Amino acid sequence: MGMSQEAFVRRYADGWADFEELLERMESKHLDRPVHEFPRQFRMVCRHLAIARSRGYSLGVQTRLERMVERGHGKFYGARPDPWRKVWEYAAGGFARDVRANWKPMLVSLLCFGVPFVSLTLWVAMAPDRASEILGLFMLMNLDSMYGPSADMAREADSDVMMFGYYIYNNVGIALRTFGSGLFLGIGSLFILLFNGVVLGAASGYVTGMGYSDNFWPFVIGHGSFELTAIVLAGGAGLKIGAAPIWPGRYSRLAAIRKAARESLGLILGFSAMLVIAAFIEAFWSPRQTEPIIRYVVGGGLWLFVISYFAFSGKGAR
């Protein structure tokens, strides 16, 4: 025999009150608790209504539960998710959580890019002639014209807009190639990361060793935080895809690849957005003829922001 109506109401009254409060907040769009509570509570109220009807509880109890179910039904089946809210929630912390959740391929990507970059920067800076063996004379001439003593770093406003589009096309293209080449067991991503680390490191070392630092480093420090980090993330996402058929776990190799691809979608959108931000900074801020100390401070602040975002954003959120 089931419990009495009084015991039933006494046992579940608090849960009903919580659900009614949640409905009121959803209807007024003033939520201060996670929406993930709603489906569980809605199912609970539906179950309680079925019990109340089957046991013949009073009309008052059944009516209260019916009203809750009707209101909940409208929210559960009639509500449409706000896509911009999802975008904001992912940007505010979901992206960082995805990166931390895939820390192993991200760490491999960072090492493959960062170690040759730092090593070549230091090695070539001590003897700039070494750069010709890596970059070739034509690229060295370009670096001389871009950052040498006679370089004109100023640009017109219409050139800034044109360069913004070019930077988006170039940077996003590099990142997507870095990611896409990971399909070949990650070998392609590893190669592109190593190649970019060597080339960018040799170029950085050359301009530093030649004494062009005042033109070069204030220019690149601003957008480098977003651009270089995004390249590393693209490589990490590519390595995730490449590792799927090697370590498929309990999935078939094809299913593991599909699963990794689905899980990488947010990473792709995230590093693509970072490259758009980097292109904007590179086009409209980096070439400004501001005092180098100001650009160093701004650039350092951007690096601190990027590092802090991936280290702390989204922690504690379910």
pLDDT tens-place string over residues 55-105 = 888 888 888 888 888 888 877 776 555 677 788 888 898 999 999 999 999
More reliable by pLDDT, 49 or 251: 49
DSSP label at 130? Answer: G
Q: DSSP readout, 83-127?
A: HHHHHHHIIIIIHHHHHHHTHHHHHHHHHHHHHHHHHHHHHHHH-
* Number of domains observed in the structure of the chain: 2
Residue-level pLDDT at 154: 58
Domain assignment present for 117: yes
Q: Does residue 93 share a domain with residue 55?
A: no
143-189 pLDDT tens trace: 998 888 876 665 555 576 787 787 788 888 888 888 888 888 889 99
110-150 pLDDT tens trace: 999 999 999 999 999 999 999 999 999 999 999 998 888 87
Q: Does residue 65 share a domain with residue 130?
A: no
pLDDT over 90, % of the chain: 44
Full domain range(s) for residue 282: 85-312
Between CA 55 and CA 63, with CA 59 as vertex, the angle to 5 degrees is: 105
Q: Does residue 137 share a domain with residue 282?
A: yes
Choosing from 45, 80, 115, the residue where a domain stops is: 80
Residue-level pLDDT at 152: 63
Q: Does residue 273 share a domain with residue 161?
A: yes
Q: Does residue 73 share a domain with residue 105?
A: no
